[in-house]
Amino acid sequence: MSGPFTILGGGVCGLAMAAELSSRGARVTVIDPKGAPGGHACSWWAGGMLAPDCEGVSAEPEIVRQGRKAAGWWESQGAAVHHAGTLVVALNRDQSDLATFARRAPRAATLPKTQIAEQEPHLAERYSKALFLADEGHLDPRATLTALHARLAQRGVRFGGDIAGQVIDCRGLVARDTLTDLRGVKGEMLVVRCTDVTLSRPVRLLHPRFPLYIVPRGDGVFMLGATQIETGERSRATLRSVMELMNAAYALHPAFGEAELLEIGVDARPAFPDNQPRIRRIGDVIYANGLFRHGFLLAPALAQMTVDLVLEGKIPEVWYEDYRER
């Protein structure tokens, strides 16, 4: 057995790192002062969309490439990934946004009303055109993190204890104490229950100012997200943000007007200036951070590359910075 390794932080980054290391037989300790997965990690508030094509419309190509590894990796770790694709719609007056999106997401298929009806009957009442990304998937972040935590404990990963061996720092925004170019990007989200609408897959509503995604969690529960504000504030969901999310949901389908509001969530995503993650060596510590809005999408690739580095000495193909020489 190789190791030991100590992972700081038990959010999606830290747990994915622990999973990858322990899968390859390494001894791992995860230290997170807050204990089990929960609202202290920004991944708790995530959408859980594994949607590289949709993200690629505005994100760098490398994020798309690395993100394609996510669904398979999560399944290899026992997570329930729904392979139902993503549906993208726009209100009538924003059809030009749909055209732009289609142009920038080469894998998007255009669905006419009849085919929307086959996929999402409730949306066919309102939309005559949609884009469909068949290869995309989604998972439930909270269920996934909680199950992975339990699975890792069973596998012999220790939670809590003393720092020993190689330290891999996955503390997200908290690591700003060392990673001075890391910044927070605030996000607000809602969880609602709505029994009048059924959706089988994540739906994105394009809007020039209030873009929205809705991810079905089953039992009539939906996650609505997410704002993206350039501030490191991790609390204080504002009325304006919540109102915008609600408005967008109501515009997507008026039946959401009768939804029960279950939860208002807020946190800040850790991001580097190019909004791409990093594996960074500073002194003896390796930092894996900056997953931005792509926690579940990119944590697998980031973990695989980091573990290749620490176990096999293989230099990561992207996102690697060695500060030891500086």
Partner 1 sequence: MPTFYGTEVTSRLMLGTAQYPSPAVLAEAFRRSGAGIATVSVRREAGGDQAGQDFWALIRDLGVAVLPNTAGCYSVREAVTTAQMARELFDTNWIKLEVIGHADTLQPDPFGLVDAAAQLAEDGFEVFPYCTEDLVLCEQLVEVGCKVLMPWGAPIGTGLGLNNIYGLRSLRAHFPDIPLVVDAGLGLPSQAAHALELGYDAVLLNTAVAKAGDPAAMAQAFGLAVEAGALAARADPMDARDMAAPSTPVFGKAML
Q: Does 274 bind partner 1 (CB under 8 A)?
A: yes
3 state DSSP class of 6: strand
Q: Cα Rg for the chain, rounded, in angstroms?
A: 20
Binding residue (CB under 8 A) for partner 1 from 273, 313, 324, 326: 273
Our CB check for partner 1 shows the closer of 103 and 155 to be: 103
Q: Does 155 bind partner 1 (CB under 8 A)?
A: no
Per the CB < 8 A criterion, the answer to whether 225 and 216 are in contact is: no
- C-alpha 88/C-alpha 201 separation (Å) is 10
- C-alpha 171/C-alpha 92 separation (Å) is 43
- In this structure, the number of other CB atoms found within 10 A of the CB of residue 97 comes to 17
Residues 37-66 that bind partner 1 (CB under 8 A): 58-60
Our CB check for partner 1 shows the closer of 47 and 211 to be: 211
H-only helix segments in the chain: 12-23, 52-55, 61-67, 70-76, 95-104, 113-119, 121-124, 141-154, 239-252, 295-312
Per the CB < 8 A criterion, the answer to whether 87 and 130 are in contact is: yes
Q: What angle do CA 324, 269, 190 make, to 5 degrees?
A: 165
Q: Does 196 bind partner 1 (CB under 8 A)?
A: no
Q: Does 231 bind partner 1 (CB under 8 A)?
A: yes
Query: Using CA of residue 115, residue 205, residue 225, residue 303, what is the dihedral sign?
Result: positive
Binding residue (CB under 8 A) for partner 1 from 66, 119, 144, 276: 276
Cα atoms found within 13 Å of the Cα of residue 178, Cβ hemisphere only: 16
Nearest distance from C-beta of residue 245 to partner 1, angstroms: 14
Q: Does 83 bind partner 1 (CB under 8 A)?
A: no
Nearest distance from C-beta of residue 99 to partner 1, angstroms: 12
Binding residue (CB under 8 A) for partner 1 from 43, 66, 166, 275: 275
Nearest distance from C-beta of residue 291 to partner 1, angstroms: 13
* Binding string, residues 165-184; x marks residues near partner 1 by CB under 8 A: ------------------xx
Binding residue (CB under 8 A) for partner 1 from 154, 235, 239, 284: 235
The residues binding partner 1 (CB under 8 A) are: 58-60, 100, 103-104, 183-184, 186, 208-209, 229-233, 235-236, 238, 240, 271, 273-276
